[in-house]
Structure 1
Amino acid sequence: MLTVEVNGKQLILREISDQWGEDCHTFLSRPEMMHWVNERFSKERFQGTDEELENIMEAFRQV
C-alpha cells in the first residue's frame, strides 16, 4: 500500500508492506517524486498489466 501526504512544500510517501513494514520517502517537489515513481514502477520490473501500471501512474500524477 502506498500513501502520499502533502505537507506544505514536502510530499511524504509511505510504502507499507506486510513483509518489510513501513518505508518513508520525503520529496521536495512533484518532479522528484515522479522520478522515483518512474524508477519504482518501471515497465521492466512491474508484475501487473499495462492498465494497472497506467492507473498507478495516473494516481501519482493527480497528487
Structure 2
Amino acid sequence: MTGPCMLYCGRAAVPLQWVGSVKAPTRTGAILTGDLYACADCLPHLGVMVERHVQERDLKALTAR
C-alpha cells in the first residue's frame, strides 16, 4: 500500500506498513477508531518508544511488589 505516513515524517506517497488499530479523540470529544500506517523510516522510532515504555512498565511492576 502506498500513501501518507501517519507517524513522524508525514511524507506523502510512500510505501506503508500497517501498524495496528488505534483509537484517537477528535476536537469535538468523539473517539474515532481506525488503522494506523507508517513508512519504513518511522517504524524503528516507534519500536524504540514501545521498547522504552515496556521497560518502564515492567520496572514499575517489579518495584511495586
Shorter chain as normaliser: what TM range?
A: 0.3 to 0.5
- The structure whose residues are more often helix, as a share, is 1
| Larger RCO (CA within 8 A; separation ≥ 6) | 2
Structure with higher Rg: it is: 2
Q: TM-score, normalised by structure 1?
A: 0.35
